[in-house]
Structure 1
Amino acid sequence: MRHIPALSAVHWRKSSHSNPNGGSCVEIADDFPGLVPVRDSKNPHGPALLIPAAAWTAFVASLKHRS
């Protein structure tokens, strides 16, 4: 069985590209070896996605490449 980390007490941070007026933002949590928890900042009590760290790194790199 896969261990699912408790996310209730983690520190979430918004993207550095977030709109200060609250627009469409994602938040991530650090300090989860091998995983990157991601959630919608407009729904902080809603579900979070647990993305493998390697997939998150590739996703962010592809976004930076497009800029």
Structure 2
Amino acid sequence: MAALRPSMTERHTKMPDQRLHHVWRKSSYSSNTGECVEIADLVSGVGVRDSRDPDGPVLVFGRGAMADLAARIRDGHHES
């Protein structure tokens, strides 16, 4: 199982060049309460940001880690 942790160099990095060239998406299941994250396919992995703060920090995770997270959520291994 891949660890779902950003590297130290990626943890608090703002990536304005990558923000401008990628489409940020959030789940169609998201409500308008502002408690959502958005994801984008970046060159260095999958970017995750707070939808209420699009200019804030971006966490970057490897594609394998994100695929593992999605599989665990789909299989019901998450807290509600």
TM-score normalised by length of structure 1:
0.77
Q: What CA distance in whole angstroms lies between the structure 2 residues aligned with 1:23 and 1:8?
A: 20
Aligned residues: 63
Q: What CA distance in whole angstroms lies between the structure 2 residues aligned with 1:11 and 1:45?
A: 14
Identity %: 40
Q: Offset of 1:27 from its aligned partner? A: 0.4
Q: What CA distance in whole angstroms lies between the structure 2 residues aligned with 1:43 and 1:14?
A: 13
Specify which structure has the higher proportion of helix: 2
1:14 corresponds in structure 2 to 26
Does residue 23 (structure 1) correspond to residue 13 (structure 2)? The answer is: no
Contact 2:44–2:60 under 8 Å retained in 1: no
Contact 1:36–1:50 under 8 Å retained in 2: yes
Q: Offset of 1:15 from its aligned partner? A: 1.6
Superposed CA RMSD in Å reads 2.3
Q: Which runs of 4+ in 1 moved over 3 A?
A: none
5+ residue gaps, structure 1, are: none
Does residue 42 (structure 1) correspond to residue 26 (structure 2)? The answer is: no
Specify which structure has the higher proportion of strand: 1
The letter for the 1-side match of 2:67 is T
Q: Which has the higher contact order (CA 8 A, sep 6+)?
A: 2
